[in-house]
Chain A
Amino acid sequence: MRTSSGRSLLLLLLCGLFLSACSHSETPQPAIKKSVSATPATGDSLVEGTIGEASTLVPILASDASSHAVAGQIYNGLVKYDKNLNIVADLAESFDISPDGLTITFHLRRGVKWHDGKPFTSRDVLYTYRVIVDPKTPTAYAEDFKQVKNISASDEHTVKVVYGEPFAPALASWGTNILPAHLLEGRDITKSPLAREPVGTGPYRFKEWVDGQKIVLEANHDYFEGRPYIDRLIYRLIPDTSTMYMELKAGSIDLMSLTPVQHARQTANPDFTSRFNKYRYPSSGYLYMGYNLRHPLFGDKRIRQAMTAAINKDELIQGVLFGMGQKAHGPIVPGRWAYNPNVKDIAYDPKQAVELLAQAGWKEKNSDGILVKDGKPFKFTILTNQGNQQRLMTAQIVQQRLRQVGIDVKIRIVEWAAFLKEFINKGNFEVVMLAWNISQDPDMYDVWHSSKTNPGELNFIGYKNPEVDRLLVAGRNTFDIEKRKQAYFRIQEILADEQPYTFLYVPDALPVVSARIRGIEPAPAGIGHNQIRWYVPKNEQVYLP
């Protein structure tokens, strides 16, 4: 789980749609134009527009979505998520978890070669682990690997990892891209040429990076799952979304993410739909309003419930997302196994909101129609970050709804760097409007556990509930899905009752792909899961080899 500034959310939506997406049966399928001659063929290029440039292609050093999107085509992890979001083997041929949940043994694939021809072995896995936990490596991903008590390789193709206690997110953490030991061992990884010219095991190999313009990858003919059909992936950097959309219409790019207004209004004509396929599925993130629970105003659960009752989530989805989203009821997005469909959410009901506020002592109104208690008006500020239009519009609609029940809301927008340092980390806010991007594993210890309320930690609203604490630990200390489900179901019930956040909505991911690209199969994991099987029929190919 990680949050996003306006920019990184956008980045994730645009570039990370392959990595993070989930869906359910309601996914509208595009009308794929079938052509009789459409048989899989090799060749052609896929040009993808991205608004942010990758920073480094040594993935453990990168903290941005663009870098991970490119690196994800070049490297593999030991495991990966399949199209239904189950963890399956990748560079590992198989893996076993010991009955006590303490040991994971990976049996590595044989015959896998790095792009430079050297064989892939357990040495690479051990190196990747060591460099991540090395205190000198400036990586953001060491935390999960610090739980490892012991790691060993009995031969070139077996890696055994021992944990101090059962740790459910551990397995997914081995989806980390494995780095080539023979090119990195004994060298300073921060100055490695691999940052600009990576060597991996993945379906595409690096070809060229023109700074500020494009990154070009070429099909790896020796890929262990078979050669990808499409010869080249080209990531074109176009920082402005309007420009990118025009490039799409002019046919210069094949894949991008649409904004809700583009999806709903600007592309609903036959001219567009004959040339492009639009997809739509829930993204893996949600927007929320978080209450600073240390603030006297928000200590009372009834007040928070009243706020949620006063906000019309459907209206937000219609007004801000043009309907391209769904209501959020808790920290798990619909469609995931940990999602509890039976949670009783607070519905939009201004009367109930007024009643709840009255119960909490806010009964009288002043001459401006603002609720007053002990001579003080009910007013606060919603803080959000600069550069995210959707968040601002959401805040404005919320502001108007809360005004109707007698709450005076101001909106303040702060640049991201200052937002983090001066407000979030210092707990210096009343209400924030932010979004979390969530990983496939439901572990959310860092956001809700009471031990994570220190400055700079993620439970910045100061939520403390002993039962939730216990359930969070129970949920991550077992591999048993049923037991985990129980824990997370109960957490969702508690959060729905206590409303430490008002969970607002889960926006849809809205990728659009040129109609000449075939073989796309939308699934809970989005569309990127079978990218190596995408192809362009011979007679429709536009880019020469």
Chain B
Amino acid sequence: MTRYLLKRILMLIPLMFGITLITFSVIHLAPGEPVEMQMAMNPKVGKEARERLTKFYGLDKPLHEQYFSWIGKLAKLDLGRSFSSDGRPVLEKIKERLPVTISLNIIALILEFGLAIPIGILAATRRDTWLDKGITVFVFVGFAVPTFWLALLLMYFFGVRLGWLPISGLHTLGSDTWGTLSYLWDMAKHLIMPVMVASFGSLAGLSRYMRSAMLNVISQDYITTARAKGLPERVVIYKHALRNALLPLITLLGFSIPGLIGGSVIFETIFAIPGMGQLFYQGVMSRDYPVVMGILVIGAFLTLIGNLVADLCYALADPRIRHGEG
């Protein structure tokens, strides 16, 4: 187990290196330049101003030099300064946005898995009943509904019509002068709709996975055996079947980890939540290389870690993997 872990961790190093190279190339291959984005179409800008800015960002140097200077800084965990006109360190920008995105995503993730697993089990064990069919319909509606549309409907209903929930943002104006409890309650109210909308779509997919995994397991011989030897249905399902049926979901959980830092642009834009999705989108649109590369590298790193964790969880859930058999 330890050897396996060590091997996996060592493998991360060349992978990370490859990722930085690809990240750097991709962003520089994209058409358009950061300087153009700030200066183009403005009659007050002379050629000199463009050159001035190009030099300021170090974009006049050959590409390989730019790459090595970036990777050199990266090794010291310095992601450089943003190309937008505030010129702030990328790390600072990411740090500002990360807590909101991560906490929102973790809440949504817990909600998704917490609901998807029972729904999936329910649908599998009551297969072909009205309950299963009802769940299927609900799930497909969830799949089909566009996030932005659902968000707008909820906003209109709960925010404008009923006035129960705040429409967008994270805090009510002036809430910073209230007590801690009411401040937190205010923030929680702001998060209800975003979390609902964020989980609704993925809930659909996840519960389908759970259902089919469960059905697959239930049809196996050992479950028939378990039933034949007279075990109560509860034990058969929750002790013998569930453990195996969870495997695919663990993989999905592992894949969700990098998603934790990447927010969705559409959804953050609609709810005016200052998260990572917006930062990344604006970074791409203005060709803010340091911001884009910074987020991509962090995202790639987390993907690698996520895969690692998923594999380890597999090993925990399945003794055959743990002992290097099968």
Contact = CB atoms under 8 A, between A and B. Distances in A.
A456 B270 contact: no
Nearest to B50: A456
Given A422-B31, A544-B174, A143 B45 contact: yes
Given A212-B96, A212-B97, A243-B155, A195 B272 contact: no
Nearest to B272: A238
Contacts of A2: 41-44
Interface in A225-247: 234, 236-240, 242-243, 246-247
Contacts of B52: 135-138
A137 B159 CA distance: 46
Given A246-B155, A247-B168, A47 B173 contact: yes
Q: Is the interface of B mostly helix, strand, loop or mixed?
A: loop
Interface stretch (B9-17, B81-89, B197-205, B216-224): B81-89
Nearest to B34: A417
A250 B166 CA distance: 9
A221 to B, nearest CB: 21
Contacts of B45: 140, 143
Interface string A236-262: 111110110011011010000000000
Given A140-B39, A247-B168, A417 B269 contact: no
Nearest to B92: A211
A239 B278 contact: yes
Interface residues of B, number: 56
A420 B40 CA distance: 7
Interface in A170-220: 190-191, 195-196, 211-214
Contacts of A56: 85-87
A144 to B, nearest CB: 6
Contacts of B7: none
B48 interface: yes
A250 B163 contact: yes
A421 interface: yes
Interface stretch (A22-30, A57-65, A80-88, A359-367): A57-65
A36 interface: no
A303 to B, nearest CB: 26
Contacts of B270: 240, 242-243
Determine which residue in B39, B155, B271, B272 has the highest number of CB atoms from chain A within 10 A of its CB, and name it.
Answer: B272
A75 to B, nearest CB: 16
A213 B155 contact: no
Contacts of B43: 1-2, 143, 445-447, 458
Contacts of B38: 63, 140
A417 B289 CA distance: 13
B274 A213 contact: yes
B30 interface: yes
B326 to A, nearest CB: 49
Interface string A337-365: 00000000000000000000000000000
B155 A214 contact: no
Interface in B274-325: 274-275, 278, 285-287
Contacts of A237: 272, 274
A456 B85 contact: no
A326 interface: no
Given A238-B169, A250-B163, A63 B39 contact: yes
Contacts of B273: 212
A234 B272 contact: no
Interface in B135-161: 152, 155-156, 159-160
B58 interface: no
Given A3-B41, A4-B41, A421-B33, A456 B47 contact: yes
Contacts of B274: 211-213, 237
B111 interface: no
Interface in A2-28: 2-5, 7
A413 to B, nearest CB: 14
A141 interface: yes
Interface in A439-470: 445-447, 456, 458
B37 A416 contact: yes
Given A142-B46, A458-B41, 13 more contacts: A2-B43, A47-B173, A56-B85, A211-B93, A212-B97, A212-B274, A236-B272, A243-B152, A246-B155, A246-B160, A417-B36, A418-B31, A456-B40
15 contacts: A63-B39, A140-B44, A143-B44, A143-B45, A195-B88, A212-B278, A213-B169, A239-B269, A246-B160, A247-B167, A250-B167, A415-B285, A417-B287, A420-B32, A421-B36
Interface of A: 1-5, 7, 45, 47, 55-56, 61-64, 67, 135-144, 146, 190-191, 195-196, 211-214, 234, 236-240, 242-243, 246-247, 249-250, 252, 415-422, 424-425, 445-447, 456, 458, 543-544
